[in-house]
Structure 1
Amino acid sequence: MAHPTNLEADVIVVGAGLSGMIAARTLLEAGLVPLVLEADERVGGRILTEDVLPGVSVDLGAQWIGDTHERMFRLAAELGVQTFPQYDEGETSYDLDGSGVLRENAFHARFADELAELERVLRRLDELAADVPVDAPWLAPRAAEWDVISAGTWYDAQGLSPIARTLLEICTVGILAVPTVEVSFLHLLFTIQTCGVTSELFAESEGGAQTTRFVGGTAEIPRRLAALMADHIVLEAPVLLIEHTADSVSVHCRGGLVARGRRVIVAISPTLAGRIMYDPPLSGIRDQLTQRLPNGSAMKAFFVYDEPFWRADGFNGQLISDVGPARMSNDSCSPGDDHGVILLFLEGDQARTFGRLPIDERRTALTAELVRHFGDKAATPEFYIDGEWSDRQWTRGCYNANHGPHVWTTYGHALAEPIGVIHWASTDTATYWSAYMEGAVEAGERAAHAVIAELTK
C-alpha cells in the first residue's frame, strides 16, 4: 500500500489492536490528534473473526468477555454491538489420566475426593494472590520467594492426585497458553489477582471469564472503532524505528513513511515492541525485559456441522482431556444460525506440537478426539478451519506475554513505565484483567490519559 511520505499528529499510536484503538479514541475525544500505524492489513491485532460459510463466522482470536468486564460491555453498547450468553447447558465430557471418556456427572461422582483436593488448592491460590499488588507485583511480601519458582513447581509440591494435578495444569495452560513450568509462581498469582479470584478465571458459567460473546464476532468491536476514526489509521505500515527527543518523536515505517508527533504510545505486545529500534536506545533493563516476555502458544480449531447434534445428547460441547490433541473445547454456535460449531483449543505444548503437522493430519487427529467424546456424528463436519497464532507475522503468539522466573522481581518495573515521550499500552501491561480484552481497554485508556495529562497541563 502506498502511503504519504510524511504525516504529523499530536500522538502516534503503534498498533491497531484493541489497546491502540482505545488509546486513539480516548485521545481524539480529548481534542488531540492521534495517528495509528498498523503493520497488518487489518485492525484488531489479537482479535480476528472470519466468515467461513454463509451466515457462519468464527473467532480465531479473542472471543469472550466475562461478567465483570465492565469496560467491554460498555464499549459494545456504545458501538451498537450486541452480545449473547455462551451456551452452557448439558454435561461436559472428560477423559483424564486413563479414566476413559466419562460424562460430567459420572466423572464428578467417581473423582469427588480429587475435585475436593483441587478446590482446596484453588482457595489457597486466592489467599496468596491477595497479597500481590497488581501495579507492582515485585513488592509483594513474598515476591522473591514466589518469583524464583515456576507455577508448575508450586503445583507439584501440593501433594495432589494425578487427576487433580492434571486438571490444574489444563485449566492454567488454558489461560496462559504455556506449560506451567515456564511461568513464575508470582506471575500466576498476579494473573489471579488482576482477575479477582480463581473462580472468575476458570469458570465457564456465571462469574467466569468466558460467559458472553458478540453477535457477528468479536471483530465487530475493532471494525466499528476503526470506522469512527478512519482518517487517523494507516494500515500496512510496520514500524522500524522510533527516534525520540525530550518533546517529540519521529516514527519510521517500512516503505518510507515517517510520522511525527509529540508523544508515541506503543500498543503492541512487549516482545514485538522490543523488535523496534529506538534512537537513542532504550535502557538495558527495558530491552532485557522484552527479551524475557514471550507470547503464549495457542491454536483454535473450528468444526462446523449442519446442526449442534451434541446438544440433543445432553452435552454442552465442552470436553476436558489429557489424551488430546486438544485439551478443551467449547460450543461456538451463533444465535440465528442452525449450524453446529465446536471449537477445540490447542495451547502450550499442544499448539507447538500439533501446529507443526500438516493441516490434514491435525484435522484427522482432532476429528478422532471429537468422535470419542461426542459420537460418530462428529466425524463429518461441513467445514474445518484452524490457525496457530505464533505463525502470524504481526502477532507471533497468543494469548499474552508470560513472565518466567525472576522476571517480575528483576525487570517488572519497566513493563508499563513511560520512557520520556514513549508510553506503553497492550493488555500485557494492564493491572485489571491483564491478558484479556478488558485489560487491553484498561491499558489503552491508562496510556492515553497519561499522555493527555502531559500535553494539556
Structure 2
Amino acid sequence: MSADVIVVGAGLSGLYAAREVLRAGLEPLVLEADDRVGGRILTQQVAPGIDVEIGAQWIGDTHHRMRALAAELGIGTFAQFEEGEATYELLGSPVLRENEFHAAHRHELAALDQALERLDELSGQVPLEAPWDAERAAEWDAVTAARWLDSQQLPPVAERLLEICTVGILAVPMAEVSLLDMLYNLQTCGVGAQLFAESEGGAQTTRFDGGTSRIPQALAESLGDRVLLGQPVMLIERDETSVTVHCRGGLVARGQHVIVALSPTLASRIMYDPPLPGVRDQLTQRMPQASAMKAFLTYDEPFWRADGLSGQLISDIGPSRMSNDTSPADASYGQVLMFLEGEQARTFGRWPEAERREALIAEAVRHFGPRAASPTHYVDGEWSDRPWTRGCYNANMGPGVWTNFGRALTPPVGPIHWASTETATRWSGYMEGALDAAIRAAGEVATQLRR
C-alpha cells in the first residue's frame, strides 16, 4: 500500500493529523494497532441508554479547537453539573460539606490560594517552546514537585489539597515529577489557577452529547478506508526520499513521510531503521505513562442533588480522592465518577474488582448518604493494562529530563514526525493538546512536501 503520509495511531491526534493532511491535498493512510479508533478516548455502554466515559471526557472554556471541531462534526455539548456543595474528608476529620469546611479552614485555604499564585508566577516564566531555556530551568529541573511543596511549609490542609489536585492532573505522585515539568504543564494549560478551576475557565466545564467517542468515530468516518484497524506497526524504515512502515500482520505501507501519533513510550517500542538519534531514545525512556483509573456508580437518579450536593468529593482516605457528577444532561439517571490516580490507581487497580467496588461504594455512602449503597451498575476501567495505551492521562518527566533531553521531544527525525498530546505546547495532556500536536505535525509534513 502507499500514500503520501502514513499516520501511526488512530487516536484523536492521529485522526486529526490525517484529516489536516487530506485537506492539504495529500493522501494519508492511518494504521491503528487496536480494533477501534479513539486511543485514550473510550465511551462504553454498560446498559441500554447508559454510557460511561472510560477515557477522556471534558473540555474547558478555552479549548477552542475542540469546541470548533465538535461544532463542525455536528456534535452538541452540555455544561458539566456544578451546583451544590462538595464534600471533604481530610486529615482524620469527618466528612464536611463545603461551606462548613471553608468556615473551619479559611486560613488554610487562604494559604492555598497564595501557593497557587506562586505557581502561576513561576509557571509564567517557562517558555512553552523551550522550557529548558527558562532562567531557573536547571534549578527547577533538579528537584521534584514534592520537594517544592515541602519547601512551602503550608498548613496541613492546604498542603494536602494542593497535593491531591496536582496528582489529579498529572496522575503520578509529585515525587516522580520535576518541578520544571509541573510548571510547564501548568503553563501549557493557562497557568495554575485556571487549570485547578472546576467552574468557569477550568478544564472540566463541558461534555459531549452522546459521548466523547463520537468525535474520533466521526473523524474516522470522514477518512473512510484510509483508516486500517488491527495493524500494529513494528518497524519504520526511512531513507532520504521515503518511508516504509511494516505491520505485525505483514502489511507494508510506503510513503514520503510518517506521523507517529503515539505517546512517547509507545513510539519508542517501534523499531526504526536507521535507529533514531540517541537523545530521542534516551528521552522516551524517561517519559513513562501515568496511572489513572475511573470508576462509575450509576443510580436511578442523581439523588445527591436534592440534598444540595454537587457530587464532588475530596478525600485523603479513598480509595477515590476526587469525584464528579457525570449524570447525563437530562438527569435521566444519576452517575458518580470516582477518580483513582497515581498511587491510588496502582494500589486499588490491582485489587479484585469486587473488593474495589465495595470500598468505593462505602466511600460514596460516607459522602452522599445511604442511598449511595445500592448502585444499579458499577464499571471501572484502568489504562495501564491496555496494550495500546499502557497508561493515562499522559506522560511525565522526572528530574533532569527536560534540561538534558527535552529538545528532542517534537523536532522531526528526517521524514518522521511526532504527534501526541504530550508534544503539545497548548493544553498538553488534554484533547485540546492532541489537536495542537496534530496541527503542528501535519503542518511540518505539508511544508516539507511543498519544498
TM-score (structure 2 length as normaliser): 0.99
Cα distance in 2 between the residues matched to 1:338 and 1:330: 17
Tell me, in whole angstroms, the C-alpha distance in 2 between the residues paired with 1:23 and 1:133.
25
Report the 3-state secondary structure (helix = DSSP H, G, I; strand = E; otherwise coil) of the residue aligned with 2:340. strand
The answer as to whether partners of 1:289 and 1:412 remain within 8 angstroms in 2 is yes
> Deviating runs (4+, > 2 A) in structure 1?
none
Matches within 5 A, 1:342-353: 342-353=336-347
C-alpha distance after superposition, 1:234-271 (max 9, x if no partner): 00000000001111100000110011000000000000
Give, as a single letter, the amino acid of the residue that structure 2 aligns with 1:133.
P
Structure-to-structure mapping, 1:137-152, within 5 angstroms = 137-152=131-146
Is 1:286 aligned to residue 253 of structure 2?
Answer: no
1:103 aligns with 2:97: yes
Partner SS state of residue 134, structure 1:
coil
The 2-side partners of 1:203 and 1:333 are apart by 20
Matched, 1:391 2:388: no
Structure 1 residue aligned with 2:43, among 43, 49, 60? Answer: 49
Q: Does residue 164 of structure 2 align to residue 170 of structure 1? A: yes
Choose which of 411, 420, 424 in structure 2 pairs with 1:417: 411
Distance of 1:133 and 1:371 partners within structure 2: 45
Aligned partners of 2:214 and 2:174: how far apart in 1? 33
Question: Is residue 199–residue 207 contact of structure 1 (8 Å, CA) maintained in 2?
Answer: no
| Structure 1 Cα separation of the partners of residues 126 and 209 of structure 2 | 36
How many residue pairs get aligned? The number is 451
Partner of 1:455: 449
Q: Does 1:190 align with 2:163?
A: no
CA RMSD of aligned residues (A): 0.6
- The letter for the 1-side match of 2:164 is I
* Residue identity matched to 1:147: D
Aligned residue among 179, 195, 209 for 1:201: 195
Q: 2:321 and 2:241 mapped to 1: Cα distance?
A: 50
SS for the counterpart of 2:412 is coil
SS of the equivalent of 1:229 reads helix
Name the SS of the counterpart of 1:260 in structure 2: strand
Note the residue ranges of structure 1 that are not aligned, 5 or more in a row: 1-6
Percent identity between matched residues is: 66
Who is 2:151 aligned against?
157
Kindly report which structure 2 residues correspond to 1:20-35, keeping only aligned pairs within 5 A, or say none.
20-35=14-29
**Local SS of the residue matching 1:390:** coil
Q: Is the 8 A contact 1:370 1:379 kept in 2?
A: yes
1:406 to 392, 396, 400: 400
Cα drift, residue 100 of structure 1: 1.3
Distance of 2:239 and 2:195 partners within structure 1: 42
Q: What is the alpha-carbon distance in structure 2 between the residues aligned to residue 139 and residue 99 of structure 1?
A: 44
CA distance in 2, matches of 1:252, 1:337: 48
Q: Distance in 1 between matches of 2:401 and 2:240?
A: 29
Answering whether residue 43 of structure 2 is matched by residue 37 of structure 1, we say no
TM-superposed deviation, 1:352? 0.1
- Secondary structure, aligned partner of 1:240: strand
Q: Does 1:443 find its partner at 2:437?
A: yes
1:250-329 aligned at under 5 Å gives the runs: 250-329=244-323
Give the counterpart of 2:115 among 105, 118, 121. Answer: 121
Contact 1:55 1:337 in 2 (8 A): no
Unmatched tracts of structure 2, length 5 or more: none
Other-structure match for 2:81: 87
Aligned residue for 2:218, secondary structure, equals helix
CA contact under 8 A between 2:313 and 2:367: conserved in structure 1?
yes
SS in 1 for 2:384: helix
1:243 match: 237
Are residues 1:371 and 2:365 paired?
yes
Cα shift at 1:337: 4.8
Letter in 1 for 2:29: L
Q: Which residue of 1 aligns with 2:54?
A: 60
Q: What secondary structure is seen at the aligned counterpart in 2 of 1:221? A: helix
Given residue 17 of structure 1, which amino acid in structure 2 is its aligned partner? G
CA distance in 2, matches of 1:452, 1:318: 45
Between the aligned partners of 2:76 and 2:328, the Cα distance in structure 1 is 12
CA distance in 1, matches of 2:434, 2:414: 22
Q: Which whole-Å CA distance do the structure 2 matches of 1:219 and 1:243 have between them?
A: 32
Deviation at 1:336, TM superposition (A): 3.1
- The Cα shift of 1:224 comes to 0.5
Query: What SS does the aligned partner of 1:391 have?
Result: coil
Identify which of 201, 205, 218 aligns with 1:211.
205
- Cα shift at 1:197: 2.0
Could you tell me whether the CA contact under 8 Å between 2:85 and 2:309 is conserved in 1? yes
CA contact (8 A) 1:310 1:317 kept: yes
Residues in 1 aligned to 2:295 and 2:344: alpha-carbon distance in whole angstroms = 12
3-state DSSP of counterpart to 1:51: strand
Contact 1:298 1:397 (8 Å CA) reproduced: yes
Instruction: Look up the SS of the partner of 2:203 in the other structure.
Output: coil
TM-score normalised to structure 1 length: 0.98
Where 2:328 maps in the other structure, the secondary structure is coil
User: Is the 8 Å Cα contact of residues 56 and 337 (structure 1) preserved in structure 2?
Assistant: no
Is the Cα contact below 8 Å between 2:384 and 2:391 reproduced in 1?
yes
The structural deviation recorded for 1:198 is 1.2
1:74 aligns with 2:68: yes
